Structure 1
Amino acid sequence: MATAARPWIVTPDTGQLLDFITAVFDGTELGRVPLEDGTIGHAEIRVGDTVLLAFDKRPDWPAMPSLLRVFVADADATIERAVAAGAHVLTRAATHAFGQRTGRVRDRFGNIWWISAVIEDVTPEVGMRRLTEPQYAEAMRDAQETYDRELRGRTGATTTCHRVSCILSGYILKTFRWSPGSSRLLCSDAPVLVRCPAASPPLSRPPRTH
């Protein structure tokens, strides 16, 4: 029976993608349609009760990574299989307020997979109350921050940054870290606060007084 929604996953190599899904999620390939140039024009693979659709992107198309969530019996074991298949861990598995143990991985094509296992039946009311408990609040904070860092491309940036000072409206804000080749200025691991042209020299002077 067809599911109401079927997501597309578009990558440079659908064959490798299908191999990844098979190895990690025990997917069952339903078929593929090769084109004359050797690329795959259409493919389908079943994961649990859902069919995922895929095809090869053309070389001049932009990358189109997908965001997918898959429910499994054992989140930790599935994440280990994903890493063995070439993915890297984006968010470590943790137990969340609503009774799900969830982690995230990013495959070699940039797709991000939420990998979740239901370990406890929790009502919405109980789940909402739990969000204020330290262990669940920390799990939520880590999930939000690791996702934000991954999409901003800031993972590990602090190890390759130079220290500079930037003046905005005549004031020294504080010491920022600047990554070579980037126009983004970072303050510790906080979100980007300001943008300055990469070619502009670092500036520093005493703050104005009133």
Structure 2
Amino acid sequence: MSDVQPIPADRPFVVPYMTIGARTDGSPGGAADAIEWYTAAFGAREANRQATPDGSKLIHAELVLGDGLIFLADDFPEFSGSESAPAALGGSSVTMHRYVVDCDATIEAAVAQGAELTMPPTDMFWGDRFGGIRDPFGHNWSIATHMRDVTPEEMEAAAAEMFAGGPPEG
């Protein structure tokens, strides 16, 4: 019998795995650039990096972000048959969510590093100060600071009020 654990003790949770391609502005990007960006914008710490034998791309990398972990790699259409990074797909349907001490400052720092502001920080009915960005590699992030606890009844009433008028126009 093997002593190897089928689920590593330090990874009992879902880990987002991001495919990184060119920047959304069309300039070269890639996983190595994304690591630099996530480190500068969010204070991520690189924990692991595995490059191709020629060093031109990253096969796998791991970033520690708060108490969480993010995996990322360069896009490898030569193996998968098609490009799969957000810029190649015309966007991403996934949003990474992160709680921080200061939502406004974190979003401001990300925008200063080249992120696109998709939603300015706003006090939300569920008790969070909440906003959004799209990073230079096309990945969506929601950033929040929990400001107050809200009961399920308060949240239901606030949601009913918000949706009573229908979706915003625009």
The structure 2 residue matched to 1:105, chosen from 133, 144, 150, is 133
For 1:123 and 1:29, how far apart are their aligned partners in 2? 38
TM-score normalised by the chain length of structure 2: 0.74
Give me the whole-angstrom Cα distance separating, in 1, the residues matched to 2:152 and 2:62.
35
Listed as ranges, the matches of 1:162-173 within 5 Å are none
The alignment-based identity, stated in percent, is 30
Show the counterpart of 1:52: 70
- Normalising to structure 1: TM-score of the pair? 0.61
Give unpaired runs (5+ residues) of structure 1: 146-187, 190-210
Deviation string 1:17-37 (CA, Å, 9 cap, x unpaired) is 112221222111101001123
Contact 2:123/2:129 (<8 A) preserved? yes
C-alpha deviation, 1:63, in angstroms:
2.8
1:106-185 matches, within 5 Å, as 106-132=134-160, 137=162
Q: Is 1:63 the counterpart of 2:72 in the alignment? A: no
Report the Cα offset of residue 132 of structure 1.
4.7
Instruction: After TM superposition, list the pairs within 5 Å mapping 1:65-84 onto structure 2.
Output: 65=92, 66-84=94-112
2:43 to 1, 12, 26: 26
Match of 2:59 in 1: 41
**Equivalence map 1:4-19=2 (5 Å):** 4-12=13-21, 13-19=30-36
Structure 1 match to 2:89: none
Q: CA deviation at 1:9?
A: 0.7
Cα RMSD after superposing both structures: 2.1
2:123 to 85, 92, 95: 95
Partners of 2:19 and 2:84 within 8 A in 1:
no
User: What's the offset of the Cα at 1:131?
Assistant: 2.9
Q: Partners in 2 of 1:3 and 1:81 — Cα distance?
A: 31
Q: Which of the pair has the greater relative contact order for Cα pairs under 8 Å at 6+ separation? A: 2
Q: Which runs of 4+ in 1 moved over 3 A?
A: none
- Unpaired segments of 5 or more residues in structure 2? 1-9, 22-29, 87-91
Superposed CA offset, 1:36-90 (max 9, x none): 2310000000111110000000355143444200111111100001101110101
Q: Which amino acid aligns with 1:5?
A: V
Q: In terms of Rg, which structure is larger?
A: 1
